[in-house]
Amino acid sequence: MNPLADRLAVKMNGIGNEILILDLRGAGAGVTGAQVRAIARTKGLGFDQLMVLEDPRSEGTKAFVTIFNADGSQSSACGNGTRCVAWALLKDARDEIIVETAAGRLVCRRVSEQVFSVEMGRPRLKAAEIPLARDFADTSAIDLAFGPADAPILKNPAVVNMGNPHAIFFVDDISAYDLAAIGPALEHDALFPERANISLARVVSPERIELKVWERGVGLTRACGSAACAALVAAARLGLAGRRATVALPGGELDIFWRESDDMVIMTGPVEFEFETRLDPAIFADVAA
C-alpha cells in the first residue's frame, strides 16, 4: 500500500501562488520526485509548490516542511506556502508557531484570520552563498546579460539567496519583456549551479515595488514570496527603496520588511483556503514505490 494513498491534501493559495499541503507527520514516509509529479498532473490538484509536513526534527518546532516544485525538484523556501502552512497548523487558536525547512527555523505569526507573517531568515549576499559559479565582490549588480552582446535586453541583475537563489533585473516596465521566453534560459544559465528564480522589478517609489517572477521548477507564477523578499533586499541595497515596502505581484500584494536590528526579512500577506481532499491511490498507479 502506497503510504501517500488516501492521505489528506489541503489546497490553498497565497496571493495566487498555488499551494498543496500534504501532512505526513507520523507516516514514517517521505515523497519522491516522481510522486510529486504524479500529484501535480492530477486534475484539480495542480500546484506551484507542494508543502510536505513531516515529523519535527528540532525541539520547539511544529513540523519539518519539505518543499517541492511542480517538476519534482526541491526548494528550501516558499514564503507563500509557509503562510498557508501556518494557517493549517494554527487552527488550535495559538498565534505563533515555528516550523523548520532546509533553510532553517521560520517563525510564523497570525496577524488576522487570513493574514500571516513569516520570518524568512537573513538574506545571503555572498557569491558562494547564493551560489554562483564564479566569484563577484559585489552581488548588488553582477556581470550577467541576456540578449545580443552589443545590445543586451537585460543586464546586471542583483542576486540574493532567500532560502533559494534569486536574480532580480530592475527595469522601467515589467510588462515590456517576455519573461516566459527569457526565464528558462536565465534559470539554467551556467552561472547558477542550483538554477535560479528570475525576476523583473520596477521600483514605483521607495515604498512600492512591482514584480514579475519566473520561478525555477515552476515557470511564470502569480506570486513568489521569497522573490518578493529578495527584490526588497536588492532594491534597498541599491538605494532604490527603503527597508520596508509593498511588493505587488500579479496575484496580489505582500508587505516586506528587512529589519535592521537583526537583518531578518519578514513577509506578511493573506492566504486563501480552497478545498481539501484525499489522494486517490490511482494517482500513483504508474509510480514505483
* Domain at 182, CATH number: 3.10.310.10
Same domain, 159 and 259: yes
pLDDT at residue 65 in the model: 96
Is pLDDT of 93 > 60? no
Ligand-binding annotation for 225, yes or no, is: yes
Active-site annotation holds for 84: no
Least confident of 26-35, 51-60, 212-221: 26-35
Ligand-binding annotation for 197, yes or no, is: yes
Active-site hit among 78, 84, 108, 229: 78
pLDDT at residue 1 in the model: 59
Q: pLDDT (tens digit, 9 = 90+) per residue, 107-128?
A: 999 999 899 999 999 999 999 9
Ligand-binding annotation for 16, yes or no, is: no
Ligand-binding annotation for 215, yes or no, is: yes
Please check whether residue 127 lies inside any domain of the structure: no
Q: What percent of the chain has pLDDT over 90?
A: 86
* Number of other CB atoms surrounding residue 106 within 10 Å: 23
Active-site hit among 84, 108, 224, 229: 224
pTM beyond 0.75: yes
DSSP string computed for 234-274: HHHHTTSS-SEEEEEETTEEEEEEE-TTT--EEEEEE-EEE
Q: pLDDT (tens digit, 9 = 90+) per residue, 125-175?
A: 999 999 999 999 999 999 999 999 899 999 999 999 999 999 999 999 999
Higher pLDDT, 246 or 26: 246
Domain hosting 12: range is: 8-119+272-284
Same domain, 108 and 208: no
Ligand-binding annotation for 216, yes or no, is: yes
Ligand-binding annotation for 13, yes or no, is: no
Q: Is the dihedral of CA 123, 164, 200, 16 positive or negative?
A: negative
Compute the average pLDDT of residues 75-95.
Answer: 87
Q: pLDDT (tens digit, 9 = 90+) per residue, 252-271?
A: 999 999 999 999 999 999 99
Using alpha carbons, list the distances in angstroms from residue 174 to 36, 46, 154: 32, 26, 11
Active-site annotation holds for 229: no
Please check whether residue 205 lies inside any domain of the structure: yes
Question: Which residue is associated with the grid cell 535586453?
Answer: 153
Using alpha carbons, list the distances in angstroms from residue 27 to 5, 46, 52, 259: 11, 23, 11, 38
Same domain, 251 and 277: no
* Half-sphere exposure in the Cβ direction for 113 (13 Å, CA): 2
Is pLDDT of 27 > 90? no
Same domain, 16 and 102: yes
Please check whether residue 128 lies inside any domain of the structure: no
Average pLDDT, the chain: 94
Domain count, the chain: 2
CB 10 within 8 A of CB 88: yes
pLDDT at residue 287 in the model: 77
